[in-house]
A and B are shown apart, each in its own frame.
Chain A
Amino acid sequence: MNETLVAVEAVTKRYGDTVALDAMSLTLRSGLTGLLGPNGAGKTTLIRILTTATAPSSGRITVFGHDATGSLVDRTEVRRQLGYVPQEVRFPRGLTCFAFVDYIAVLKEWTDTARRHTEVRRVLDLVGLGDRATRKIRALSGGQRRRLALSQAFLGRPRLLVLDEPTAGLDPEQRASLRTLLSEHGRTGAVLLATHQTEDVAALCERIIVVDAGRIRFDGTVAEFVATAAGRVWLGDAPLPGALQTWRTGTGRIRSIGGVAPTAPDPTVSAAEPTVEDAYLLMLGPAAHAGAEVAA
């Protein structure tokens, strides 16, 4: 279970003078990995290279032993193992849900019509769109379109599932059922989940990779990540001076993230249990959620 499924080695991507990825290296094993970072940090670029949508400027990516940056034959092998949900999926005009997924299924080499249709039905049911199969896509709500985009990624139960902001536009209930789906999938294959929603990562992932400005800032387990914020989150009667973020909690006390801790023992101030969100904020500062509204 712990063999390396995906290896990213010193991958750099430049767009003109801009460096989107700066010699990034990481490995993925089976299970769920959260890719956390503000917009423009390089998450989408990394994902597009990983899914063979674009080629890196330099470096190498190996997926299940095949070079994703290599020959067409190698890339095709990678694509056969891959389920991908881009950040934004636009749909061809005039199609029904079924027709769209059927089209992607053909592109994924499902040649037998009867088996393909059964599989299309399965993935539509999986995301709760079974009774919307014959609806025109334009008649769907935003959340339903997002689920439709998700459904095609599950065609053929791929060993590598890459999702870019999968929960954007979903309501809490749909978000919960997607989490169930992903955690089941994570038992047999590798799932990479790019997001800026720390609660998705906290709820699902064993492992967190934080990227910022094209570099990896953190790579480890969720527990290790949360531990980076230990002793830096406080509960008190007043906001701590210099705190990154403060708010009044349900108990009426003020929660402060970061800031200057009291030097002398203060009975009104106590250390609080940090969360993934706290650790994320402390690591990246106010830039952590930059551009979040744009993507959501």
Chain B
Amino acid sequence: MKIYLKIWRQDSPATPGAMKNYELDDVSADMSFLEMMDLLNESLIQKSERVVEFDHDCREGICGQCGMMINGRAHGPLTHTTTCQLHMRSFKDGDTIYIEPFRAAAFPIVRDLKVDRKAFDKIIQASGFTSASTGEAPEANGILIAHTIAEAAFDAAACIGCGACVATCKNSSAELFTSAKITQLALLPQGQVERADRVIAMVDQMDAEGFGHCTNTEACEVECPQEISVLHIARMNYEYNRASIISH
């Protein structure tokens, strides 16, 4: 099929960017979206032009490295699907596709569609862990964990750190991402000792990184490839209030 592309090109954070037009003739429906981008880049090389830079690695929806705004939606038209798992069968012959980077003040543009998501690492550094040094662990079956709790913790732990929630949110809030980690560790017995300090440190760091606040539009949950639930945000607020009471 024939596809028309309008892609954000920006050399560096310091220079202005703009949308540029491209056309591709031989796109097949079985191609993944990123394979379509490969095809475009191959054609740019043939024309001696600089390729479109975009982030990707695993191409199977788990590393969280890919991510673009496609026709205004984070990761494109399908719900709960990463950009790399999107296939061209979701588009039709003659379509025009708008491609832009994930935009947020806390995610500066590196080049074209690549953005810098270090702010997420900083939030985890603040306290997104249990302080279990190597060798300190007790026997794994020593503390039983109910099946339902383990499953609920897993649901929260499944976040791939892609940033689609931030890019989708009109406030560029990172609350879905942050709350998922807080919930996972608050549910598990191993996370109890640091539970109160953790939520305070992570929320403070999230604010320090320049992410906005949640105003409950719930757009993030719709785009999240891992179906992380907004209920975690409610849980985070509960944990935060609980921690504030405990520590005062």
A binds B: no
